[in-house]
Structure 1
């Protein structure tokens, strides 16, 4: 037993000594490792590190400064873990080379990078880095026209998935520089990024941007326009606060649109604005919770895009917020590109793949068509504009959808409200929407067809100039853009503000654009108590453009048609008419100059000032009488116009006015090619009239400079006869001024029946064709030489929907109310 006992003691002593030595050796190794780490010149390892990283990224990588490893006390650890030091790695002057075809030598340079690594998680193959500090990073991005770029790396593929996982908690950035040269996008920009001194809540950024954007709006649309835009925006916010679906009183939302889910049913004191930012009823953010997104990085940018200057600034969320793809990432930007200014505040989900956006968006510029270069969306030329609204969207492969919801805007002196939806499709994108203007300045429509002044063109950056001697717009349509996108947009102008001489009250149009073909189905104006509706079909898929137009004028009141003419204020009749034209050409002037078709007009059951009628017939005695004793009325039985249009020349086959006292007919031509007129006005007195010269008038000159006068030859004959007779007997001088009646008034009922039966027609674009004239009895003043039996026969031209061009529904359409 004693032997066994001594043996046990010996074994325990041996084990104890062994363990003691093991601990001693471990301690020595730890100390030696610590001494090695602290004293080893890690720069000797740089070639190995450089080679391994270069092999992994397929691009030369180099640490050209010191490579150091040290130990630091752990931060935030408690208990025994606080006794385990963390290694700290740092490297200076790091470079990553560019391909040999780039302008710059390096893709990226870095003054210094340092970070710490938690030791214990390494046992589980987890690389946990609490923070990385990056000093003065600089990145150069380049892309050539052929598509080559320097940001695509040929990374070395591994045999299998790595057992190691990286967990990065924070990045501290100290002034980074990014340069971008993209020949495909015509971009050349330099950006500077830096960490903010302290995080900025998204609500505070929203408030600051709202104030800045509204100040900028005043520079574009004027102080009054900016004030009205602010009022519109507040009306929208109040509407959303009450859960209404309208963007303003009486302003509908586009088909399929709805108030954002965040705003529906929320009280006015707690409205939620775009991007989940709490806001007041006026759209101004209020205090945010601690969970509200915050900005951690600021940036500025300058450069050129398509040779136009770009400058701007903004903020982003923290870099590590990018790791959580399900959490909205805050963004803010205020950028000016040429004459366009874009500002936004909100969030982006999964920024690396742009999964979704939720933004408050402000747009300002000199013309909406300038957005084409930035977005690829075809919009019309307009006066200066400013808008603000809510942009939401989802990015999907080949099927992205974006909604500019409940936006408000000013375009020139007009307001515009509504919702538009952009949908990406395999063929062409589609733009849909419903827009409303409660107060529309008629002059703001002029740039759409290039009919604004040269000063206005210059202001919106258009190099085209209208010749001083031309009345019809010569600016060409940008048909090359019509194939870039399809459109289905409805626009209503509820009240039109215009020159008092223009009797236009309201506007509605449905714009449809498909594969380069632009249609207005219809373009309808409220005019003089009636309507002027046109179906316009412009095929821009071929050169030159091919156009077809059919127009209906219904119940235009004479009194309202010329509201500034005092002699028309007692008028009671109406104007009705139809037109059908086809043409080819890339501008309004070119289309008019090549037009072919027919125009028909009819005035029924009216009365106008005797002063106007007698002045037109040069009935001197009655003109003097009216000047002395006032104005009386003369009854209009009817008036009719029937014109054939051939290669831009309007020829009057019937152009006559039947009154209780006279029949006046007009003949001649109007040439739309050179904008000239050559018309004759011929009065035919019905009864025995004294002091009536009955001399024809002429209307000549151009649209810009017309000349109206008396036919000198006819007047000279009558005047010479009067003087000759006067030498014999003074009373005989009255004989040439006596106008016997021809007793052949215009057959008004036949005119109405003929216009109802013979709708205007037009040949296909580019073809000439004359239609038959109205069937008037032989000998009627103004009757055409073309009779129904000899007129060429043809089928009515078909508009784009395949139906015959519209005509009056019945004879009542032509009768006055």
Structure 2
């Protein structure tokens, strides 16, 4: 019975101990709270500065107040909302720049404040729902050797940290960014400030559409801008129709008992339903400065809160930037902007030339007339390489339309540009700037300082081969209908552009010409200096009458022209490539007819020309016609150049010099049959490409005229003798000549010549007979030479 009081006393002791423990804890907590609330946290600034400096490898300082307070947590429910979170704030913060930087500080902040969730600390998670930055100022610098001030040398721990940082949103009230980049030659200042009131993305889209339409009108004219708007509307309608058809098909599939289709449709519906709305714009920004030597100005808008962890929440962006004559604008969203997961933008681009986009894109686009485009740009940022799609865009380039889609994939060792472009109405003149064949006024407008010499017809503007290694390309372009001078028999265009490791190829470059085709394969190796070029071309089924669409006399002509050419050359411009070319050019005319008036005029048979003019014409059959030029160092010499008809044989000899751009061709007509009042005499084609001269060999004609005058003094009837042309020429060996022309030519490697090729034996004997006949008429005829040359290509039909 004595143990009962002992047990009671022991219970009272335990109760007192527990009570004292709780009392002590309460006192300690109270003391800690008092200390926490009354402690001067500025005493910890040296410790914080030292720890952060060691962590980032840069001097870090807090020169203002460091405070710690307690607040109830935002967006918490239940008992958790009663657990207060610490709120940290620091004022006047600076982060130093490297020693080589021009500015002292990389960043300065008037204030930074954030809260830390308490309960996640038990699981070693540092959860910061939001960080607020007040008046941040950032200095961004890079030197020519690629040293930059935004790469920090973070202290690496020998053991992995057991703590995880989870950051939510970042917001700011006002900020400034200075950019000094010696690599891109950028020197810009950007200011960010609040808009005053939130602006929805739909309103910004309408404003940008109006501004871009005005800019397009300035670049391609009001007419071009109106046509561009119609193109965009048509493309939008087509896209909407396709989407409607796809939705209908999906609905039909969903109604059918197909589990896979039903699952896919539900997945699409769920995905669309989960897509969060786009928040409004809250900040505006402006930029001024220079970039790559040109003036830069721009403005735009940003969302109010940058979501760092929520990858599904879109962040609205808008920009309207001008760099010299280039204008780029976009409206849209960035998903997961902290990691740049995806882009979805409406993009407008205008410039004096597509080549001027190179500083922005790194893509070596060709020189073009002024252009304007608009379309949708989407992008996916991936570890293996970013991918961007410019989808269903429309545009105007000079007086031409352009439509299509492009894909840019960042890959190693070079990015790749792929796509298909279509022009429904293509102005032939808009192609001239691509090879530098536009006027000097046009060159000056697009910023080219080098002018085309007035005496040169071939373009002298050099290719920008230094850019060709920046990217690979695989792009197809179709010009469905060409708008050009009525005298040009070209109807359409197709080309497949391939660029790989500095080598540009057009496989093929194909034109619809005179009811047939002219196709060429062009390879330009820009990886070497000078550039090495290789060209092969074939003309197939070119109709004689369509080659001269505005010439009424030729409209009764029949027959086709087929030809092949193969050339190799070195040089960095079309002119230098032509001047160094080696190879062969061949052409033949299959059996057909041509106006007799042209044949009589070629032989200067005066009486028959007058008769044809007065009483009509009769077509003459073409038995055969062929031309075979050997090209050596830019000089085309004729091995074979002859035309055989029922009424005449015409031989041509001489050369065409692509280096000096002049011609020296002699045309020797020989009649078949008896002609009266014939002033048959050699013709010539001389002069330059820009100023050709066609006429009669005055010396030979004067000899015949002098003979007629001399004989007329003796007997008036004897004066007719020099004007009578008997038949003194045999037909050409057509089968042998055409068989020779059809032989597959070859071309030497770029920069090399080929062995000499003599003229065919049948041409040599014919030339000798022609020379004898001409000497009988008082004219010494030049014999065709046997030049050095090479060639490539092969006829695959006539």
Normalising by structure 1, we get a TM-score of: 0.83
After the TM superposition, which of the residue ranges 619-628 and 701-710 deviates more from structure 2? 619-628
Partner of 1:580: 566
In the other structure, the counterpart of 1:219 is 218
Structure 1 pair 483–159 and aligned structure 2 pair: CA distance change class (3 A): closer
Partner of 1:256: none
Residues 744 and 781, structure 1, Cα contact 8 Å, conserved in 2 = no
Q: How does 1:163-562 map to 2 (within 5 A)?
A: 170-243=169-242, 291-562=277-548
Contact 2:171 2:304 (8 Å CA) reproduced: no
Is 10-19 or 198-207 further displaced after alignment?
Answer: 10-19
Q: How far off its partner does 1:697 sit? A: 2.0
CA distance in 2, matches of 1:173, 1:492: 49
The 2-side partners of 1:34 and 1:644 are apart by 100
* Equivalent residue in structure 1 for 2:637, among 647, 651, 658: 651
* 1:808 corresponds to 2:798: no
Shift of 1:27: 7.9
Structure 1 counterpart SS, 2:299:
strand
Q: Is the 8 A contact 2:647 2:673 kept in 1?
A: yes
Evaluate the alpha carbon distance shift between residue 74 and residue 392 of structure 1 in structure 2; reply closer, same or farther with a 3 A threshold: closer
Q: What's the counterpart of residue 745 of structure 2?
A: 760
Distance 1:773 1:594 in 2: 22
Aligned to 1:722, the other structure's residue is in SS state helix
Matched residue of 1:625: which SS? helix
CA distance in 1, matches of 2:490, 2:222: 28
Report if the CA contact (8 A) 2:371-2:397 is conserved. yes
CA contact (8 A) 1:745 1:780 kept: no
* Structure 2 equivalent of residue 254 of structure 1: none
Residues 666 and 782 in structure 1, CA contact (< 8 A), matched pair in contact too: no
What corresponds to 2:625 in structure 1? 639
Once the two structures are superposed, residues 219-257 of structure 1 have per-residue CA deviations (whole angstroms, 9 ceiling, x without a partner) of 222222222222222222222222279xxxxxxxxxxxx
Asked if the contact 2:224–2:399 (Cα under 8 Å) also holds between the matched residues in 1, the reply is yes
Paired residue secondary structure (1:645)? strand
- Extract unaligned runs of 5+ from structure 1: 246-258, 268-287, 798-804
Distance 2:168 2:521 in 1: 63
- Structure 1 residue 703, shift from structure 2 partner: 1.0
Note the C-alpha offset of 1:294.
Answer: 4.1
TM-superposition CA deviations, 1:191-236 (whole Å, max 9, x none): 1223443444444443433333333222222222222222222222
Distance 1:68 1:616, change over 3 A: same
Whole-Å separation in 1 of the counterparts to 2:75 and 2:202: 31
- Is 1:618 matched up with 2:617? no
After superposition, give the CA deviation of every residue in 1:398-433 in whole Å (9 maximum; x if it has no partner): 443333222222222222222222333333333222
**Cα-to-partner distance string for 1:426-475 (whole Å, 9 max, x where unaligned):** 33333222222221111121122211111222222223321100011111
More divergent stretch after superposition (297-306 vs 713-722): 297-306
Question: Aligned match of 1:731 in 717, 721, 724?
Answer: 717
Deviations 1:537-565 (A, max 9, x none): 22222222222222211111111101122
Matched position secondary structure for 1:323: coil
Give the C-alpha shift of residue 158 in structure 1.
5.2
C-alpha distance in 2 between matches for 1:314 and 1:53: 34
Q: CA deviation at 1:290?
A: 6.7
Q: Do the aligned partners of residues 352 and 22 (structure 1) sit closer, same or farther apart at CA in structure 2, a change above 3 Å counting?
A: closer
Confirm or deny: 8 A CA contact 2:282 2:301 kept in the other structure. yes
Given that residues 106 and 139 in structure 2 are in contact (C-alpha distance below 8 angstroms), is that contact kept between their aligned partners in structure 1?
A: yes
- Report the Cα distance in structure 2 between the residues aligned to 1:768 and 1:89, rounded to whole angstroms: 80
Q: Is the Cα contact below 8 Å between 1:773 and 1:784 reproduced in 2?
A: no
Conserved in 2, the CA contact under 8 Å of 1:322 and 1:329? no
The whole-number CA distance in structure 1 between the counterparts of 2:74 and 2:407 is 51
Paired residue for 1:248? none
Change (3 A) 1:197 1:30: farther
Q: Look up the match of 1:253.
A: none
- Whether the aligned pair in 2 keeps the contact of 1:656 and 1:782 (CA below 8 Å) is no
Give 2:139's aligned residue: 140
Per-residue CA deviation, residues 651-708 of structure 1 (Å, 9 max, x unaligned), is 1222222333322222211111101111222221222211111122222211111222
Q: Answer whether contact 2:639 2:787 (CA < 8 A) is retained.
A: no
- The Cα of 1:631 is off from its aligned counterpart by 4.7
The CA deviation string for residues 105-153 of structure 1, in whole angstroms up to 9 with x for no partner, is 1111122334556777777777666654432211112222233322233
- Residues 60-102 of structure 1, C-alpha deviation per residue, up to 9 Å, x if partnerless? 2222234445666877778888887776554332222222221
Q: Indicate if the aligned counterparts of 1:776 and 1:784 stay in contact, CA closer than 8 A.
A: no
TM-score, with structure 2 as normaliser: 0.85
| Distance 1:389-1:710 versus aligned 2 partners, 3 A rule | same
State the distance in 2 between where 1:453 and 1:635 align: 42
Are residues 552 and 244 of structure 1, via their aligned partners in 2, closer, same or farther at CA, if it must alter by over 3 Å? farther
How far is 1:495 from its partner? 1.0
Distance 2:390 2:327 in 1: 17
Task: Say which SS state the counterpart of residue 612 (structure 1) adopts.
Answer: helix
Aligned to 1:271: none
Q: Tell which deviates more after alignment, 532-541 or 590-599.
A: 532-541
Match of 1:54 in 2: 53
What SS does the corresponding residue of 1:62 show, helix, strand or coil?
A: strand
Shift of 1:162: 6.0
2-structure distance, mates of 1:263, 1:310: 47
- 1:296/1:317 contact within 8 Å kept: yes
Q: 1:486, 1:114 → 2: CA distance?
A: 48
Does residue 554 of structure 2 align to residue 568 of structure 1?
Answer: yes
Q: Indicate how the Cα distance of structure 1 residues 526 and 120 shifts in structure 2: closer, same or farther if over 3 A, else same.
A: closer
Distance 1:171 1:399 in 2: 27
Q: Quick check: 1:243–1:266 contact (8 Å CA) kept in 2?
A: no
Indicate how the Cα distance of structure 1 residues 775 and 425 shifts in structure 2: closer, same or farther if over 3 A, else same: farther
| Counterpart contact for 1:241–1:266, Cα < 8 Å | no
1:595 and 2:581 are equivalent in the alignment? yes
Unmatched segments (≥5 aa) in structure 2: 253-273, 772-784
- Could you tell me how far apart the structure 1 residues matched to 2:418 and 2:352 are? 23
Structure 1 position 705 matched with structure 2 position 705: no
Q: Does 2:99 match 1:113?
A: no
Task: Report whether the alignment pairs 1:684 with 2:683.
Answer: no
| Distance (Å, rounded) in 2 between the aligned partners of 1:73 and 1:512 | 63
Query: 1:583, CA displacement in angstroms?
Result: 1.8
Q: Pairwise mapping of residues 31-180 of structure 1 onto structure 2 (< 5 A)?
A: 41-68=40-67, 89-115=88-114, 132-157=131-156, 170-180=169-179
- Given that 2:427 and 2:483 are in contact with CA atoms closer than 8 Å, whether structure 1 keeps it comes out as yes
Go from structure 1 to structure 2 and tell me whether the alpha carbon gap of 1:110 and 1:711 turns closer, same or farther (over 3 Å shift). same
Question: Deviation at 1:499?
Answer: 0.8
Task: State how far apart, in whole Å, the 1-side matches of 2:646 and 2:364 are.
Answer: 55
For residues 387 and 14 of structure 2, the distance between their equivalents in structure 1, rounded to whole angstroms, comes to 78
Decide whether aligned partners of structure 1 residues 73 and 410 sit closer, same or farther in structure 2, where only a CA change above 3 A counts.
same
Q: Tell me the CA shift for residue 575 of structure 1.
A: 1.5
Give me the CA root mean square deviation: 3.9
